[in-house]
Chain A
Amino acid sequence: MSSDRGKTWVFQVTALCVILGALLALSLRTQRQAANEGVPSRLPALRAAFSAMKQENIQLRKELADYKQRYEDIARQQAAGLTSTKSLEQTLNESKMLAGTVAVRGSGIVVTLHDSPKLDPTETRSDVIENYVVHDTDLRAIVDELFASGAEAISINEQRLIANSSVRCVGPVVLVNSVQVAPPYVIKAIGKQDVLDKALTLPGGVADALFLLDMIEVTKQRDLLVPAYAGSTRFSVAQPVISAKNKDNTRREK
């Protein structure tokens, strides 16, 4: 071990050990940095799972629409077979329009909302940028205003608003009926055109700030199609109460 030949290789090993140490330190540092930035190796798997789920969601929604269509057909066939169906069918149709389970058409207005073009692209302060983008609160305010002004059917990006619809934001996206919608937000409202238009363009109204920043356009349209609600409308907790007598009956049955 202590021969002369031993010395030369030890020096060379030492030299490379310096490089190895440097390499190890660099590796450790990069690894720690990667850990701080989150776990990048898990991202592709998550992304794949996410898109698979999204695909499945779309598929299921299609299936639901299909089943609904079939249900409608059967119901219509049955209704046609009955004798005193005319008034029943009319009531049914009105209820459906109110419930939003049928597509409706008529004259109305189209409101388009998008992020403000007046935002300075070099702006980095998030509290300033906030003022130039469309929020779920803007959508809610406009929709409420339209309903209050007599709109009979409203959709946001083809999502029909019904009695238990929600408009909310989760992180950077807006969900309408729990479906993601992206700007530009196109709100279609069927109703009296002039009334709806005035309701939004009113000075000091809900959309005043949006007009100021060029984030909103309102156009009147003769023929609008507002789609039917595409989600599930099953009630699992609520029970209908038709009259006091009826209520007693249902109680007794239980």
Chain B
Amino acid sequence: MIWLPLAGFAIGFVIYWLPIKNLPSSFAPYLSLATLAGLDSVFGGIRAGVEGKFHDDIFISGFVMNTLLAAGLAYLGDQIGVDIYLAAVFVLGWRVFLNLSLIRRYWLTQTSMNRKKES
């Protein structure tokens, strides 16, 4: 089951790797930030899923809003000369690692419980 998101990821990657149309390179920092926000949402969703607290509306709206907000705020920061970019990287990165560690912990306790059941 864990392969499904990974496969989706690979498909999306391949779709956009096809040479379509290049964006102006000044978009690069905002796109990276949007990617980071997307990463955060997906891991947050997985975490909510494994904890059994998953809500599809929160998940999807979170993904869209976080992605747009991260890029938009970074752009605004660039316009007014404040590095909001750094704050976004810090917060999003921190949450990605937090979510990852929680997912890992959950799966570790699951597998150990399953082993106990089997034995």
Contact = CB atoms under 8 A, between A and B. Distances in A.
Interface in A111-157: none
A21 to B, nearest CB: 3
Contact of B13 (A7, A25, A41): A25
A14 B56 contact: no
Given A17-B42, A19-B12, A12 B52 contact: no
B1 A10 contact: yes
Given A9-B49, A21-B9, A30-B23, A16 B16 contact: no
B12 A1 contact: no
B67 A40 contact: no
Contacts of A16: 8, 38, 41-42, 45, 59-60, 63
Contacts of B38: 16, 19-20, 23-24
A31 interface: yes
B80 interface: no
Interface string A163-198: 000000000000000000000000000000000000
Given A17-B8, A23-B67, A8 B56 contact: yes
Contacts of A31: 28, 31-32
Contacts of B9: 17-18, 20-21
B16 A22 contact: yes
Interface in A1-58: 1-2, 5-27, 29-31, 33-34, 37, 40-41
Interface residues of B, number: 43
B33 to A, nearest CB: 9
Given A25-B16, A26-B16, A30-B25, A15 B32 contact: no
B13 A22 contact: yes
B87 interface: no
Given A21-B10, A23-B67, A13 B5 contact: yes
B49 A6 contact: yes
B46 A13 contact: yes
- Dominant secondary structure at the A interface: helix
A30 B13 CA distance: 14
Interface residues of A, number: 33
A41 B29 CA distance: 10
B8 A30 contact: no
Contacts of B34: 23, 27
Contacts of B22: 29-30, 33
Interface string B1-32: 10011111111111111000011011111011
A1 B106 CA distance: 10
Contacts of A19: 12, 38, 63
Given A24-B13, A37-B25, A40-B25, A17 B31 contact: no
B42 A22 contact: no
Given A20-B38, A21-B16, A29-B22, A10 B4 contact: yes
Interface of A: 1-2, 5-27, 29-31, 33-34, 37, 40-41
Interface of B: 1, 4-17, 22-23, 25-29, 31-32, 34-35, 38-39, 41-42, 45-46, 48-50, 52, 54, 56, 59-60, 63, 67, 110
28 contacts: A1-B50, A7-B1, A9-B49, A12-B54, A13-B45, A16-B60, A17-B5, A17-B6, A17-B8, A17-B9, A17-B42, A18-B8, A18-B9, A19-B38, A19-B63, A20-B39, A21-B11, A21-B15, A23-B35, A24-B35, A24-B38, A25-B16, A26-B16, A29-B16, A29-B17, A30-B31, A34-B25, A40-B25
